[in-house]
């Protein structure tokens, strides 16, 4: 059978509803890996697109009552072969179907790479959550939950937090779902407050998992954590926790940023003072313990470890050659373009790719779901210990493949995930 699409066709998704720069990046990464591993063409073409896609529009009433806005929301399930689907919900003003679909595809490879029994999913609402009051955010979340309720379920598809959502949003989703079925269903979401069945250690799990990997990678390339410097883009859940845990390892964090820019201090930043400043002013800008720096300059600072932990498309063909780090540890999803990857390879930068780097979040989400479905709780020490084991094992599998097959870490990680999904598809067979 001739392939529907030629690998590396720049316009693979052009004629589909999912088309967007981020979905094209996800597809091209996948196609590059598929070609290297000589993936069966039928399976390759099947995995290029999400299995289920739901797009909704619904009204959101502002607090002044008179003002009602129509907002757009999405839920995408990429692969249903591996078990229930799993993936976060993003609130951001740029969210679109292509972005959510790319994130869902990456979730598939991530879960398979980590050996978690899930396919990939993702959801999103196209709003800026910072422009909403708490009550507006609650109404929006409850209505969005109801709009996608046919798609989610504790055995079907389990949401979690992503950019712009947090444990409070998860609590509202859990409550809305539970109201509909008539009893409490904590296992409908992960990343919820501990008192509602959330897991200890979930909030910081993505940052913690990333720092476990940074320690492994540093050891591999001969960096001493206590003598290293780090730069972190993003001061949200992932960035702030990664920075804190890097400092615990003895690493000097010399710059950090949020959406409005960052602060730089070559002597090392005082994270507690930054938290106090952000709590008072709502942003990093104006922090006295360092010099202001913009997000573009921050990425090009001389450092050992660079941690993009904010948004996608930050390291591109335009700026990749100016990076001065030895280790790029991706906390964000999709921070590096395909062209930038090739440049970083040539420069000899060791990359912890996103599907591995930020997999600590979904790993502890899996632990949370397991605890909820068993009605049994684990201690924080058990969770962090299990997380470390899972992260280190995935790192070792990826590194081994990259060395054995002479691949960069991203391609090796993708193949680790894709191979498992392809194997499962072949074993299940084709219906009907």
Binding mask 102-141 for ligand NAD (x = CB under 6 A): ----------------------------------------
Q: Which stretch binds ligand NAD (CB under 6 A): 4-12, 143-151, 157-165, 382-390?
A: 157-165
The reply to whether 235 sits near ligand NAD by the rule CB under 6 A is yes
The CA distance from 261 to 309, in Å, is 13
What does DSSP assign to residue 286? T
The reply to whether 253 sits near ligand NAD by the rule CB under 6 A is no
The CA distance from 192 to 309, in Å, is 21
User: Least CB distance from residue 266 to ligand NAD, whole Å?
Assistant: 21
Q: Which helix (H) or strand (E) holds 244?
A: helix 237-248
Q: Which helix (H) or strand (E) holds 263?
A: strand 261-264
The reply to whether 310 sits near ligand NAD by the rule CB under 6 A is yes
Q: How far is CA 149 from CA 83, 123, 143, 153, 220, in A?
A: 18, 12, 10, 8, 45
Binding mask 339-378 for ligand NAD (x = CB under 6 A): -------------------x--x-----------------
Q: Which of 246, 240, 265 is nearest to 255 (CA)?
A: 265
The CA distance from 202 to 300, in Å, is 31
190-209: contacts with ligand NAD (CB under 6 A): 206
91 in helix, strand or coil?
Answer: strand
Q: Which position has the token pair 């660079």? A: 306
The reply to whether 333 sits near ligand NAD by the rule CB under 6 A is yes
User: Least CB distance from residue 40 to ligand NAD, whole Å?
Assistant: 29
Q: Which stretch binds ligand NAD (CB under 6 A): 7-15, 21-29, 158-166, 392-400?
A: 158-166
The reply to whether 163 sits near ligand NAD by the rule CB under 6 A is yes
286-305: contacts with ligand NAD (CB under 6 A): 295
The reply to whether 84 sits near ligand NAD by the rule CB under 6 A is no
The CA distance from 247 to 249, in Å, is 5
Does 122 qualify as catalytic in the annotation?
Answer: yes
Tell me whether residue 159 or residue 239 sits nearer to ligand NAD (CB atom): 239
Q: Which stretch binds ligand NAD (CB under 6 A): 59-67, 316-324, 329-337, 413-421?
A: 329-337
The CA distance from 233 to 243, in Å, is 10
Rg value, the chain, Cα: 21
Of the candidates 86, 110, 122, 326, the residue annotated as catalytic is 122
The reply to whether 398 sits near ligand NAD by the rule CB under 6 A is no
Widest CA span of the chain, in angstroms?
65
Tell me whether residue 34 or residue 240 sits nearer to ligand NAD (CB atom): 240
The CA distance from 38 to 399, in Å, is 20
User: Least CB distance from residue 15 to ligand NAD, whole Å?
Assistant: 27
Segments of 52-145 assigned E as strands: 52-61, 68-77, 85-91, 119-125
The reply to whether 162 sits near ligand NAD by the rule CB under 6 A is yes
58 in helix, strand or coil?
Answer: strand
| 391 in Cβ contact with 398 (< 8 Å) | no
| 138 in Cβ contact with 172 (< 8 Å) | yes
Q: Which of 165, 89, 82 is nearest to 130 (CA)?
A: 165
The two three-digit tokens of residue 101, written as one number: 């679909």
Tell me whether residue 34 or residue 204 sits nearer to ligand NAD (CB atom): 204
User: Can you tell me which of 153, 193, 236, 268 binds ligand NAD, judged by CB under 6 A?
Assistant: 236
Tell me whether residue 82 or residue 293 sits nearer to ligand NAD (CB atom): 293
What does DSSP assign to residue 278? H
User: Can you tell me which of 100, 113, 170, 332 binds ligand NAD, judged by CB under 6 A?
Assistant: 332
User: Can you tell me which of 87, 123, 164, 198 binds ligand NAD, judged by CB under 6 A?
Assistant: 164
Tell me whether residue 82 or residue 298 sits nearer to ligand NAD (CB atom): 298
User: Can you tell me which of 242, 274, 309, 422 binds ligand NAD, judged by CB under 6 A?
Assistant: 309
The CA distance from 361 to 201, in Å, is 10
Please give the residue whose beta carbon sits closest to ligand NAD in the complex.
236
Helix then strand count (H, E) for the chain reads: 14, 12
Q: Which stretch binds ligand NAD (CB under 6 A): 25-33, 254-262, 342-350, 392-400?
A: 254-262
Residues that bind ligand NAD (CB under 6 A): 161-164, 206, 233-239, 257-259, 295, 309-311, 331-333, 358, 361
- Catalytic residue positions? 122
């Amino acid at each position: 059978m001739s392939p529907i699409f030629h690998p590396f066709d720049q316009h693979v998704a052009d004629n589909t509803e999912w088309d967007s720069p981020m979905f094209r990046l996800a597809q091209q990464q996948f196609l590059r890996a598929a070609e290297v591993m000589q993936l069966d063409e039928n399976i390759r073409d099947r995995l290029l697109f999400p299995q289920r896609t739901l797009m909704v529009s619904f009204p959101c009433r502002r607090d002044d009552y008179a003002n009602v806005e129509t907002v757009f929301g999405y839920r995408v399930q990429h692969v249903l072969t591996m078990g229930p689907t799993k993936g976060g919900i993003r609130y951001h003003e740029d969210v679109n179907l292509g972005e959510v679909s790319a994130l869902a595809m990456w979730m598939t490879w991530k879960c398979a790479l980590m050996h978690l029994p899930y396919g990939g999913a993702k959801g999103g609402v196209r709003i800026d959550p910072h422009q909403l009051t708490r009550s507006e955010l609650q109404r929006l979340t409850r209505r969005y939950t109801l709009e996608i309720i046919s798609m989610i379920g504790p055995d079907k598809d389990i949401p979690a937090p992503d950019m712009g959502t947090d444990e409070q949003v998860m609590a509202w989703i859990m409550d809305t779902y539970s109201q509909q079925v008539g009893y409490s269903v904590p296992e409908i979401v992960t990343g919820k407050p501990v008192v509602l069945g959330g897991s200890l250690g979930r909030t910081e799990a993505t940052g913690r998992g990333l720092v476990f990997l940074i320690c492994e990678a540093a050891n591999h390339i001969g960096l001493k954590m206590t003598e290293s410097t780090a730069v972190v883009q993003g001061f949200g859940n992932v960035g702030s926790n990664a920075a804190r845990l890097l400092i615990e390892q003895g690493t000097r964090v010399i710059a950090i940023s949020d959406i409005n820019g960052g602060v730089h201090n070559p002597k090392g930043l005082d994270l507690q003072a930054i938290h106090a400043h952000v709590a008072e002013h709502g942003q990093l800008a104006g922090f006295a313990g360092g010099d202001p720096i913009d997000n573009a300059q921050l990425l090009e600072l001389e450092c050992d470890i660079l941690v993009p932990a904010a948004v996608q498309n930050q390291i591109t063909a335009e700026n990749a050659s100016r990076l001065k780090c030895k280790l790029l540890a991706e906390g964000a999803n999709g921070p590096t373009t395909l062209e930038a990857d090739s440049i970083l390879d040539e420069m000899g930068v060791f990359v912890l790719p996103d599907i591995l780097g930020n997999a600590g979040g979904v790993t502890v989400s899996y632990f949370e779901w397991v605890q909820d479905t068993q009605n049994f709780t684990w201690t924080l020490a058990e969770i962090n210990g299990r997380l470390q084991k899972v992260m280190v094992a995935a790192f070792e599998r990826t590194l081994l493949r990259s060395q054995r097959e002479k691949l960069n870490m991203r391609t090796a990680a993708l193949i680790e995930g894709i191979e498992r999904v392809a194997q499962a598809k072949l074993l299940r067979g084709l219906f009907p």
